[in-house]
Structure 1
Amino acid sequence: MTTPSKVLFGSPEMTEYYRKGSRFGIMTRKSHWRWLKKQSSQFIVNWHEQELDLFINLERAIPNIPVCLGKTILYFNDFFRQFHPHQNRVLQLFAQYAIDYKKTHGIRQLRHYLKNKVENELYDLYDYWQHGQYQGIPKIWERLLERSQQWHQWHRELLIQQQLRKDKAFQAQLNATWESPVQTHHIGNITFNALNTGLALFDEGQRMHHCIFSYLQRCIDKKYLAFSVVEACQDDSKQPRYSYSTLGLKRVKSVTLVETDCIFT
């Protein structure tokens, strides 16, 4: 039986696409092409020209990756590359944890974990890593997450202690202000409010239990924008209900164009 991916990649259009892709570096080696032809149709549909080295190295270390896990890794492909030069090791720890999770809880619970929990874990880990607090790569994914959680807890406690001591430098941070190209914006039942003071960032971080305040200097330097997000919903009783999150955006080369960096919930 011919698989959908073989039909897709056997077409003249895809052969021409590959030829052009090789020229421009999308797939720089024939091994990439051969590997991609073996993947499921779901993987192909979700692949958006991400580099394939991470996936190929992962499959060599851990074969038979579940499709739902492969799609998640595709989605967070750029995220895992931020762990250079340890990106392969970090990805292997994550994949092995997910596979063990599937063995213990089943495929449905794995899908639920990948859909509802893993994003916040990864962004917390990214913050921990970017602030240079990591000390080597542990042997298991749970230990890496534990270090990240400990650092975030330490950071929140430090902020509270500084506030209690009325530290002059900390007070100066709270008093900092900067301009936002968008102050308030509405999309349907969702409202975005700019966080453009140090105090607003601090209060948001304390209310949502995350480290958005650590992005203060990037906001001051016009490299980052932060928004408090409120979504108005209704439950079965017709009573209004509100869902809160925090949106972070990178500013690209000092222009208004932005790309999504992270969503804290």
Structure 2
Amino acid sequence: MRRRSDDGRATTHTPSASAGTEAAFTAADAGGNDLPRDNHAEPGTDKILFARPDLTTVWRQARDYIARYKLLRLTQSTAEDGIHRQTICNLWRIERHADNSVHTYAFDLRQGLWHETEALEEQLLIPLLNSDLDWYALIINRMLHTALNAAGYAELPDETDEDACIDCHYRDGRREQRRGGEYHGKNRGFVPREMMTDFLRRYYHERVLDRENMRGAMKALRKQFFAHIVEPELFSAIGVIDYRQHTVGRYLYYARRRDAVLKVAREHRNLLPLLPAIAPCHWGRDDLFSRKVWVNSAQGAAEAEEIDFAPSPTVSNAETDFLSYSCIRALASPGEWQWLRQASSLVVKAWIESGYNHRLITNLLQAGITGRIPVLALQTVLRRDNLFDCLGVDRRMQRLMSLFIAETKRQWQDRGYRFLRQWLYHQGPAEVQYRLDWLRAEGFAAGFPQKNSTWASLRHRSDEWHARLRTRKKKAEPERHWDSALPSIVIDGITFTPLTSNLALLHEGETMQHCVASYADLCQSNRYRVFTVCDADDKRSTLGITINERGDEARWDQHYGKCNTAVSARVKAAGKKLVTAYNRALLAAPASS
């Protein structure tokens, strides 16, 4: 390894070569394909593999690297002289020094030396908070590709058009090559792509790697990373930026910019999610989140100016791997910026997901909502810009936002956080959409929502409008009927009633707020049947079943409650029994379906 000693001089350390091959490697080779040691062919290893000398050389050199440098050793860690060090596959090394700075190194297999690099951010996309331990396969896969490339795989001749048509198969454990539908013997000349596939197959499919051992090593890798590399304060700040993307590579990316990230975390922690959209060279600025930068100086301008330090898409790959560049626009007023600065980091994330929609913030600010607002409600408003940004900055939309947030407050106070979360996920947006159907058709033009409007009054007006719409549809569309192989039936205390007309489907769709009416044509062609379902608690749902072309077999298709919410396991099980009963009815009287 090449690194700096305490006095600043460069020192070089080279991993010791293995005295021999590991038994697992040798056992994986067949027919004299033993791994050469120290680049000298052992007896029985001088034969040509794959019918190509160049592929033979790459194969044996790659396996030599793996054995000599012990590249299958997934993780090692040490702590000495104030330096915490973790080595992964003896190829990638991470060091955390006494000042909490992080340095990364890659091992050059050809030179046998360590070199400092920033490329590990791309190589080590290993999740840190995912319980799945099979991610070791990704690390091993990258290690094997690194060994192959160092052995000369990248310098092999390009494939010809004929080579690209080769399809390799394994029958009865033997490799056979197919070209144009004809099989050739296993010693027919390989192409580089096939050699690489066979090389990877030796490790993954011939028990060279013991899965349980590797899962244990993966667990140790994460444990060592947290013990030796992770700085808790920085890790916490990265979690605020995006807790869903905690990987080794992502941590290393922010660790290189540690001082700037921690500066923002200590001064404006809730604004940390904005960092990925700003060029890293600006993160340490004292005026990064100042009003003069984020508020448009030209009040009332039709188009706000772009923030002057928004990142350029032309920066290097290392700069852009974890960044999703969107053009951040300055806000229209100091009040909007003050609102955003005081918002929860979760609300800031939701605003980012809306595409930095400043109109939503303007409407929320001008709506004059007072008191504590559930963060979940603000997240829903910002993420559902298709619902809450259909008029731009407008007083009517501000009143709709106020009524929606007031309803979320009521749900929170009456039924608690858990119910509110489920309501916002399943029913809340559908409730807004239901009212918007009427508002867009008639309500907005008439000045609704008005000052004295309530959430319930909007629902009532929307109900009346939908009823009028159904009446018009009934007059415009002739009623169509079909039969059901089963009449109304009760299973486990749950009533299933067949819907046998297009108007019945239309009414069901309006009542349950889903798209079941669109299945009328399939029902009339005897390819689908719909049942309205009511359990003992008068809780309703809708069951759909498909019928094959012969009309003699039905299959469960879907079963949803209002607004396509999930049904209970008990109701779902009864629906499956209904399908079984329907199949018996089809067999008894197929013509009646």
Deviations 1:124-175 (A, max 9, x none): 222211211565434311111121122112211221133359xxxxxxxxxx
- 2:357 pairs, out of 41, 50, 60, with 50
Question: 1 or 2 for the larger relative contact order (CA 8 Å, sep ≥6)?
Answer: 1
Between Structure 1 and Structure 2, how many residues are aligned?
189
- Residue pair 1:125, 1:145 contacting (<8 A) in 2 also: yes
Deviations 1:82-122 (A, max 9, x none): 35441111111111111012111111111111111012222
Q: RMSD of aligned C-alpha atoms?
A: 4.1
> TM-score under structure 1 normalisation?
0.57
Query: Which residue is equivalent to 1:103?
Result: 413
Query: Which residue is equivalent to 2:310?
Result: none
Equivalent-residue separation in structure 1 for 2:454 and 2:397 (angstroms): 14
Which runs of 5 or more structure 1 residues have no equivalent in the other structure? Answer: 166-200, 213-230, 233-238, 246-263
Equivalent pairs: percent with the same residue? 16
Equivalent-residue separation in structure 2 for 1:31 and 1:5 (angstroms): 17
Q: SS of the counterpart of 1:243?
A: strand
Equivalent-residue separation in structure 2 for 1:20 and 1:38 (angstroms): 14
- Residue pair 2:295, 2:333 contacting (<8 A) in 1 also: no
Equivalent-residue separation in structure 2 for 1:16 and 1:39 (angstroms): 14
- Residue pair 1:42, 1:67 contacting (<8 A) in 2 also: yes
In the TM superposition, what are the counterparts of 1:108-123 in structure 2 within 5 Å?
108-123=418-433
Equivalent-residue separation in structure 1 for 2:410 and 2:294 (angstroms): 40
Equivalent-residue separation in structure 2 for 1:205 and 1:129 (angstroms): 21
Q: SS of the counterpart of 2:442?
A: coil
Equivalent-residue separation in structure 2 for 1:43 and 1:157 (angstroms): 42
Letter in 2 for 1:55: L
**Per-residue deviation, 1:63:** 2.7
Equivalent-residue separation in structure 2 for 1:9 and 1:124 (angstroms): 34
Change (3 A) 1:241 1:67: farther
**Per-residue deviation, 1:244:** 8.1
Query: Which residue is equivalent to 2:388?
Result: 80
Equivalent-residue separation in structure 2 for 1:244 and 1:131 (angstroms): 30
1:5 and 2:270 correspond:
yes
> TM-score under structure 2 normalisation?
0.28
Deviations 1:47-80 (A, max 9, x none): 120111122234x332321111110111223422
Equivalent-residue separation in structure 2 for 1:244 and 1:27 (angstroms): 45
1:27 and 2:331 correspond:
yes
- Residue pair 2:270, 2:344 contacting (<8 A) in 1 also: yes
Query: Which residue is equivalent to 1:155?
Result: 469
Equivalent-residue separation in structure 2 for 1:81 and 1:8 (angstroms): 23
Query: Which residue is equivalent to 2:378?
Result: 70
Q: SS of the counterpart of 1:154?
A: helix
- Residue pair 1:46, 1:74 contacting (<8 A) in 2 also: yes
Change (3 A) 1:4 1:206: same
**Per-residue deviation, 1:35:** 1.9
Which runs of 5 or more structure 2 residues have no equivalent in the other structure? Answer: 1-264, 297-304, 307-328, 480-501, 516-543, 546-553, 565-593
- Residue pair 2:270, 2:341 contacting (<8 A) in 1 also: yes
Q: Which has the larger radius of gyration?
A: 2
Equivalent-residue separation in structure 2 for 1:131 and 1:8 (angstroms): 38
Q: SS of the counterpart of 2:477?
A: helix
Q: Once superposed, which parts of structure 1, at least 4 consecutive aligned residues long, lie more than 6 Å away?
A: 201-204
Change (3 A) 1:103 1:87: same
1:208 and 2:518 correspond:
no
Moved more, 37-46 or 131-140: 131-140
Q: SS of the counterpart of 1:86?
A: helix
